[in-house]
A and B are shown apart, each in its own frame.
Chain A
Amino acid sequence: MPASMTHPHSHPQPGSDSRSDARPEARPEVAVRAPSALPRGGPASAYPIIDAIKRGETPTPRIHDSVRAEPVILAVNNFQLWYGQSKALHGITMPVAKGKVTALIGPSGCGKSTLLRSVNRLNDLIEGVRVEGSIDLNGNSVYARGVDVIDLRKRLGMVFQKPNPFPMSIFENVVYALRISGERNKKALADACEKALRQAALWDEVKDRLKASAMGLSGGQQQRLCIARAIVSEPEVLLLDEPCSALDPIATLRIEELIHEISSRYTVLIVTHNMQQAARVSDYTAFMYLGRLVEYGRTADLFQVPQLRETEDYVTGRFG
C-alpha cells in the first residue's frame, strides 16, 4: 500500500471529503475508529467501510435515490443468512427494480450468489442454513410460513454458472417446467418451446433438431437453452448466477446481448464477477462485500461517479 495513504483524512483525492459529507452518519463513525484498528502500527486504511466490515460491523449501505424511485418487484428487507455458525449475509436491504437488469458484484465470498439463491429458496437444500428478515416477491413474502416453495420457484427462473441441460432432447429441456406442471397439450408445448427459443436467440440454430439431445450443443448454445428453459413459463424474475463464467468470450458476448434483449420483458437479477459485464448488461448495480451491501445505484453512476471510494477502487480494479 502506498505510503501516502496513511490516513483517510490525508488522502490526496480532492473529492473524497465532499462525498463523505453527503452521508455524514455513515462515515465519520468509522473514520474515527480507523486508527485503533491498526494493531501492527501500519498505515491507516483508505477504506474505512471495508475495514468496518472486516471488524464485523454492518455499516449502512449507500443506496442511491435513483434506486428508490423505481417500482419494486423484489424487496429484500434486513435479510440475514447463516450457514451453520458462520453468517453469510448481514442484514441485506435492497429493492430490486421491476423490469430492469440488476447486477450483483463483489469479490468472491461476498454473498452475492447466496443472496441470489435465497430468492428462490435454493439454499433450503443446504443443511444448517438459517435465515432471518424477509424477501418479498411482488408483495408475497418468500420466507413466510406456509409458502409453497414449488409454486414460488415456478414464478422464478434461474440459470446457473455451468450450463446444466438435462440429458434429454432440446425440446424436452425447454418445456420441462411446463411438463412438470402437468401441461400435456402438444400444440401449447410446441408453441411455448418456439417462443422461448426465439427469445433466447437459439431458435434458428436448433429448429431443425429439436428432437436431438441437448448434450450435443456447444457450451454457449447450452447456456442459451438453459435461459430458454428458465423463461418458458414467463417468470416474474430471472435469476442469473454468473451465467457466462464457463463460456468463451464470443459465447459470453451472445449471452450478454441476449440478456439485453430479454430485459425488455423480464426483470433480471444477475450475479457476476466480471465488472465489465455488469457495466454492459445492467441498469442497476449493487456492490457487496463480505455479506454486506456497500453501495447500490444506477450502473452508470456506480461505475462513473460512485459515492464511496471503496466502490470506485473496486470497479476500477484497484482493490478486491
Chain B
Amino acid sequence: MTTDASAISAAAPSPNASGGPARSLRRSFRFGDAMLGLVCRGSAAIIALMLGALVLVLLTSAMPAIKQFGLGFLVSSEWRVNELERPLKDAAGQVVMEDGEIVMETIKPAFGALPVIYGTAMSSLIALAIAVPLSFGAALFLVRVAPTLRIAGPLSFLIEFLAAIPSLAYGIWGLFVLAPFLQSHVGPAIKATLENVPGLRWMFYESVTIAGTVVERPIPITGRDMLCGSLVLAIMILPIVTSVSRDVLKAVPRTQIEGTLALGATWWQSCVAMLRYGRSGLFGAVMLGLARAAGETMAITMVIGNNNQINPSPFAPAQTMASLLANEFAEASEGLHQASLLYVALVLLVMSLLFNVIARRLVVGKASPAGH
C-alpha cells in the first residue's frame, strides 16, 4: 500500500506546480465520434422522414377525394365505384316517361368510409373483448404460476412464437378450418339457441327493400362474417397483449403483492391488486392490441366476407378499412376511386398513430403509478 501511494503522488503532480505550461481544456476534434454522431443523427432523421413522406404521399394522392367529400367521407356509407344509370323517378316514386321512353338519370360515383370504419371498430372491439381477458389470464399465469412450475420460459417462448407467425397463416387457418366450423356448427347452434329470444332477432334477420317493399330475410350463415373475422383477430392479438401484460405484471413490485397477502388477501385478491397496480400499463397493452387488430389486413380479408355494408349482426359479412384496401386497390382506376381508397388509408394511418401514441404514453410514461 505504501509504495502504491507514493507512486501515485509522484506520477501525478499538478501541471503548474511542476513549472510546465497549463494544458488546454479545449475540446479536440475526434473524427470517429463525429462520424458516429452523424450516422446516428442521420438514422434517426430517416425514420422521421419516412413517416413524414408517408403522410405526405397519402395526403397528396388522397387530395381529390378529400376535396370532393371533405370530412363527410367519414360519415357517408355510400361506396359506388362506377357511374350508375337508372330510370329517373318522380316524387311519387313513378318512373318518368317522356316521348314513350324511360328517362334515365346518371348517378356519379360516391365514396364514404363509414361502413369500413364501423367494420374496423366493431371487429377490433369484439376481438379485444375476446382476447383481453384471455391475455390477462395468461399473463397472470406466466407471472404468478408458471415460475413455480418451471414452465415460464418455454411458455413465454411459445407466446412470442405465436406473434411471429405470418398473418397469412392465420388467414388460411381461418378460411379453411374456422369458417367451415362456424358455418356448420357454431352458427347454427347459436341461431337455434338465440333465434327466438326477444330482442335478438337482428342477429339473424335483415331487412331489405326489394321492389319498393321492405322484406325481412334470414342472414345466410356463411362462416365468413364479422364473427369469424373477430375471432381470427382475437387469436392474432393474443400474443402481443399477453407478452406486454406479462412485462407489466412482472414489474409490479414484490412488496405490493406481499403487502396484500400479508393483509390476508386470497390468491385471487392479490392478483386483482396486481392488475390494479399495473392498470395503466395494461391499458397500454390493450391499445397495442387494438392498433394491431385495426391494421391487420391479410387474415381479415380472407375471413370477414368483404361486404361494404353496416349490419349489426355478427353473422353478416363486413369489411374493414384494411380489407377494403386489399380487395380494391389493385383494381382501382386512377382518379376518385383510388383517391378515396388512399383517403381510407390515411384515416387508418391516423387512427393507428393515435392508438400507438396513447399506448406508448401509457406503457412507457406511467408504467408505475406516480410517486414510485
B262 is an interface residue with CB less than 8 A from chain A: yes
Chain B residues whose C-beta falls within 8 Å of the C-beta of A166 in the assembled complex: 256, 259-260, 273, 276-277
Chain B residues whose C-beta falls within 8 Å of the C-beta of A150 in the assembled complex: 264-266
Smallest Cβ distance from B255 to chain A, in angstroms?
4
| A120→B371 contact, CB < 8 A | no
B12 is an interface residue with CB less than 8 A from chain A: no
Which positions 260-286 of chain B face chain A at CB distance < 8 Å? 260-266, 269, 273, 276-277, 279
Known contacts being A160-B255, A166-B256, A180-B269, is A230 close to B369, with CB within 8 Å? Answer: no
| A153→B369 contact, CB < 8 A | no
* Residue in B148, B265, B371 whose CB lies within 8 Å of A180: B265
Chain A residues whose C-beta falls within 8 Å of the C-beta of B261 in the assembled complex: 122, 125, 153
Beta-carbon nearest neighbor of A166 in chain B? B273
Q: Give bound CA distance, A153 to B270, whole Å.
A: 13
Chain A residues whose C-beta falls within 8 Å of the C-beta of B370 in the assembled complex: 213, 215-216
Beta-carbon nearest neighbor of A216 in chain B? B371
Assign chain B's interface to a size class.
20 to 34
Binary CB contact string for chain A from 161 to 181 against chain B (1 if under 8 A, 0 otherwise): 110101110000000110011
| B262→A180 contact, CB < 8 A | no
Chain B residues whose C-beta falls within 8 Å of the C-beta of A164 in the assembled complex: 253, 255-256, 258-259
Which positions 339-372 of chain B face chain A at CB distance < 8 Å? 369-372
Chain B interface helix/strand/loop/mixed? helix
| B258→A125 contact, CB < 8 A | yes
B147 is an interface residue with CB less than 8 A from chain A: yes
Smallest Cβ distance from B56 to chain A, in angstroms?
42
Q: Give bound CA distance, A259 to B259, whole Å.
A: 19
A7 is an interface residue with CB less than 8 A from chain B: no
| B258→A122 contact, CB < 8 A | yes
Most B CB contacts (10 A, CB to CB) among A164, A181, A239 go to: A164
| A158→B276 contact, CB < 8 A | no
Assign chain A's interface to a size class.
20 to 34
Beta-carbon nearest neighbor of B371 in chain A? A215
| A154→B263 contact, CB < 8 A | yes
| A160→B265 contact, CB < 8 A | no
| B262→A158 contact, CB < 8 A | yes
Chain B residues whose C-beta falls within 8 Å of the C-beta of A230 in the assembled complex: 262-263
A292 is an interface residue with CB less than 8 A from chain B: no
Chain B residues whose C-beta falls within 8 Å of the C-beta of A226 in the assembled complex: 259
| B276→A168 contact, CB < 8 A | yes
A65 is an interface residue with CB less than 8 A from chain B: no
* Residue in B148, B265, B371 whose CB lies within 8 Å of A127: B148
Beta-carbon nearest neighbor of A222 in chain B? B371
Q: Give bound CA distance, A156 to B264, whole Å.
A: 8
Smallest Cβ distance from A137 to chain B, in angstroms?
14
Known contacts being A127-B147, A166-B277, is A215 close to B262, with CB within 8 Å? Answer: no
Beta-carbon nearest neighbor of A179 in chain B? B269
Smallest Cβ distance from A269 to chain B, in angstroms?
13
Binary CB contact string for chain A from 267 to 280 against chain B (1 if under 8 A, 0 otherwise): 00000000000000
* Residue in B253, B257, B264, B279 whose CB lies within 8 Å of A151: B264
| B258→A167 contact, CB < 8 A | no
| B263→A162 contact, CB < 8 A | no
Chain B residues whose C-beta falls within 8 Å of the C-beta of A154 in the assembled complex: 263-264
Report which A residues bind B (CB closer than 8 A).
Answer: 120, 122, 125, 127, 150-151, 153-154, 156-158, 160-162, 164, 166-168, 176-177, 180-181, 213, 215-216, 226, 229-230, 233, 239
Report which B residues bind A (CB closer than 8 A).
Answer: 147-148, 253, 255-266, 269, 273, 276-277, 279, 369-372
Between-chain CB contacts (< 8 Å), 25 pairs: A125-B261, A150-B264, A150-B265, A150-B266, A153-B264, A154-B264, A158-B263, A160-B255, A161-B255, A166-B256, A166-B260, A166-B277, A167-B279, A168-B276, A176-B260, A177-B264, A180-B264, A180-B265, A180-B269, A181-B264, A213-B369, A213-B371, A215-B370, A215-B372, A229-B263
